Chains A and B, each alone.
Chain A
């Protein structure tokens, strides 16, 4: 029990209304109601949070202000001199930037074809959003399902704004990816005779969500990491890339790495480069808390953009409806969708349900924002913010005692650590910044719009349109990670060691910043979030 006397008092209302809510379904919204709540309350529709960026290949594109700030920034190496003619510190076929699921898959695939691979990553190998995914990974590998059925779900979920060829690659590779992971010894939930146990996720028309308890991403990440280490692939940690290097013909030819501990810069020359740096939750768009790991600061987007790679749907951000709001130690922490899947419902200060509990993520989030904003029915917290209840004890009533312990062990443990027993006490939640729907534009070879530059994972855009469904991101990082690795390695075999390495693209980017005044003295990419001295 960690709730204050005021909260405990308010919690009584939840307990009072609970018996009358059991077994009663709140009505789903009509298509019109959905559109209405999205337009009025979803942060993507609130133009105050955006601005058009003034520089680069997508000049005029709309971006969240905090993202535009890191795009419209000067390079941290602007005033440094590098001798790009000297022998580089690293000289490889394929440079993979980012050690999450996409980077690890790319490295394995490139290595398997004989390429010399270097992985440079910002934190430890595997300190990544991939490690945190709980819900699952999709693939159409059941007799009643096909990739085409999966395709329709992906496209419909993405509001048909997806690049169809990318969605095709995603669903067609999906069973191959699950098979690959199974062969690598990833421990999926299975029946005794070997059949994968699969369930539904938001927006799926077939039960195709594969899980590894509620540590699916962790299981995939640690398996891939172990395999990369088994293969002896060179991984340098705490060495973020801070700039892409181009060759004399403007093709990607390496990167500048920054050793966070010695504060020295190192040059990595490579025939082909793969950006796999993940998402951007730590930019805290509009002040939202985030579910993302420490290093999710959009670095790869910035580097790629400066080198001339185009973005797509950079203004489309996914807010997960159920982020932790209280106790304060859990702010932003993802409360897995499975919690609602098992029957927990959102409630306002009066203990009343105000939205069907399984609307899509965007609609559910918007309804929660509306409850707190327009209707003024949020639960005020001692930390100065508002939240709504998520009635988790309902799960035990619906499915029987012990369900939470069996089905949501990570969740139970996390709240227990801060003295909340979610079996008996409802959770306090608020939408959390979760996923970057867009990113750098790729084609189905995972190739960006800059030659010899590939992009995979959350840093890439176009696959999910403007709304990604749960379970399709873990899938996409491996599908496109492998494609990027395979294609970057193949390309590296065809071309000589790049020559005439230079930073001319930075000079012209800086010129544009100077001319427009857009840079305002800022330095980017962010690399590490700054939480000191709050």
Chain B
């Protein structure tokens, strides 16, 4: 068992638990600060400090083991701004982006965002790519972002990194990555009803016939 301090209050919990499990063990009914429980949703951002230390540390509650002497609090919500936009009206250009998120151009290069990212993303670098209008690189580098908000909580320039990154990825995917040509043709053919006859035959077939077709279907290597 170890001692942890949830918002300053001491609890004894088994040392094998994650922060999230430990809070529940301590008796908390999780409502906020808990989503996927598996490191995918970013709901469980947590700040902590070790007894005797001065450094503020951060982590995802569902992905961080408790340690003896941990003083912790969750940041279940962060009032970061999201710019509303119509994807069909904007373009992947610095001019458009500057209207949505002017603060990204005020990055001080302090790298506080990098130090806190639980996904170890080079956050400062993707902000730099966005500034330069290199949306492809920004999209690639920011892809694993869970939108946990920890970077935002530390940024002296008030940048909302995760929303800026998401906009960059949508711009890249919509306008820079090429559309799948055959996909568009296939969608058109379906809408024209060209593929109805083939499938309707199967929908009407009896189970025996289907089983036979299924068992003998050809499987792509």
Interface residues, chain A, with chain B CB atoms under 8 Å away: 123-124, 126-128, 131-132, 140-144, 146-149, 151-153, 155-156, 160, 164-165, 167-168, 171-172, 175-176, 178-179, 182-188, 190, 192-196, 200, 205-207, 212-213, 215, 217-219, 222-223, 226-227, 229-230, 232, 238, 260-261, 291, 293-295, 327-329, 333-334, 383, 409-410, 413-414, 417-418, 528, 530-534
B38 within 8 A of A: yes
Number of A-B contacts (CB under 8 A): 224
**Smallest Cβ-Cβ distance to B88: which chain A residue:** A183
Contact A148 B169 (CB under 8 A): no
Nearest chain A CB to B61 CB, angstrom units: 11
Cβ 8 A contact of A195, one of B16, B30, B182: B182
Is the beta-carbon distance between A123 and B35 smaller than 8 angstroms? yes
| Given A167-B203, A528-B30, 8 additional A-B pairs, CB 8 A | A141-B183, A152-B213, A153-B214, A212-B143, A219-B143, A261-B31, A329-B65, A532-B28
Q: State whether A127 touches B173 (Cβ < 8 A).
A: no
Please state if B64 and A230 are interface contacts (CB–CB under 8 Å). Answer: no
CB < 8 Å neighbour of B41 from A148, A207, A212, A293: A293
B65 CB to nearest A CB, Å: 6
Contact at A193–B178, with CB atoms within 8 Å?
yes
Task: Give the docked Cα–Cα distance between A480 and B16 (Å).
Answer: 41
Cβ A187 vs Cβ B169 within 8 A: yes
- A148 to B218 CA separation, bound complex (whole angstroms): 13
Residue of A140, A160, A226 with highest tally of chain B CB at under 10 A: A226
Judge whether B210 is part of the interface by a CB distance below 8 angstroms: yes
B52 within 8 A of A: no
Chain A's nearest CB lies how many Å from the CB of B170? Answer: 3
Q: Does B9 contact A (CB under 8 A)?
A: no
**How far is B183's CA from A143's CA once the two chains are assembled, in angstroms?**
9
The answer to whether A179 and B183 have CB atoms under 8 Å apart is yes
A164 to B209, CA, bound (A): 14
Sample of 10 A–B contacts (CB below 8 Å): A124-B35, A175-B190, A182-B180, A182-B183, A185-B172, A187-B170, A195-B180, A410-B40, A528-B29, A533-B27
Residue B219 contacts which of A140, A183, A205, A333 (CB distance < 8 angstroms)?
Answer: A205
Are B38 and A132 neighbours in the complex by a CB distance under 8 Å? yes
Say yes or no: A230-B86 contact (C-beta < 8 A), given A223-B170, A528-B29, A528-B31. Answer: yes
Chain B residue contacts of A193, Cβ below 8 A? 178
Which of B35, B195, B211 has the largest count of A CB atoms less than 10 A from its CB? Answer: B35
How far does the alpha carbon of A260 sit from the alpha carbon of B33 in the complex, in Å?
13
Nearest chain B CB to A100 CB, angstrom units:
11
Q: How far is the CA of A238 from the CA of B76 in the complex (A)?
A: 12
**Distance of A183 Cα from B24 Cα, bound (Å):** 42
Chain B residues in 8 Å Cβ range of A329: 16-18, 21, 63, 65
B31 nearest in chain A by CB position:
A260
Residue-wise interface mask of B (179-221) relative to A, using a CB-CB cutoff of 8 A (1 in contact, 0 not): 1111110110011000100111111000100110111011110
- With A185-B173, A187-B173, A327-B16 known to touch, is A147 a contact of B210 (CB < 8 Å)? no
Are A131 and B178 neighbours in the complex by a CB distance under 8 Å?
no
The answer, among B35, B39, B143, for a CB contact under 8 Å with A213, is: B143
Instruction: Write out the residue numbers on chain A whose beta carbons fall within 8 Å of the beta carbon of B43.
Output: 123-124, 127
**Which residue of chain A lies nearest to B19 when distances are taken between CB atoms in the complex?**
A329
Q: Report the minimum CB–CB distance from A185 to chain B (whole Å).
A: 3
Residues of A within 8 A of B96 (CB): none
* B178–A185 touching, CB < 8 Å: no
Q: Are B220 and A207 in contact (CB under 8 A)?
A: yes
Known: A131-B40, A187-B177, A293-B37. Contact between A533 and B199, CB under 8 A?
Answer: no
Most buried by B among A155, A188, A190, A217: A155
Say whether B195 contacts A147, CB under 8 Å: yes
CB contacts (< 8 Å) of B174 on chain A: these are 183-185
A206 with B220: in contact, given A186-B173, A230-B85 (CB under 8 Å)?
yes
| Residue from B186, B203, B217, B218 within 8 A of A141 (CB atoms) | B186
Contact (A185, B171) CB under 8 Å given A155-B210, A329-B17: yes
Select one of B36, B147, B198, B207 contacting A146, CB under 8 A. B198
B179 CB to closest chain A CB (Å) equals 5
Q: Of the candidates B21, B180, B191, which one forms a contact with A176 in the assembled complex, judged by CB atoms under 8 Å apart?
A: B191
Kindly list chain A residues whose C-beta atoms are within 8 Å of the C-beta of B38: 132, 291, 293, 333-334, 414
The distance in angstroms between the C-alpha atoms of A160 and B139, with both chains bound, is 42
Q: Identify B84's interface contact among A151, A229, A260, CB under 8 A.
A: A229
A205: chain B residues within 8 A (beta carbon): 217-220
| B199 with A184: CB separation less than 8 A | no
List of A residues within 8 angstroms of B27 by Cβ: 532-533
Closest to B39 in A: A414
Q: For residue A413, which residues in chain B have a CB less than 8 angstroms away from its CB?
A: 39, 119-120
Asked, given contacts A168-B203, A260-B31, whether A141 binds B180 with beta carbons under 8 Å apart, the answer is yes
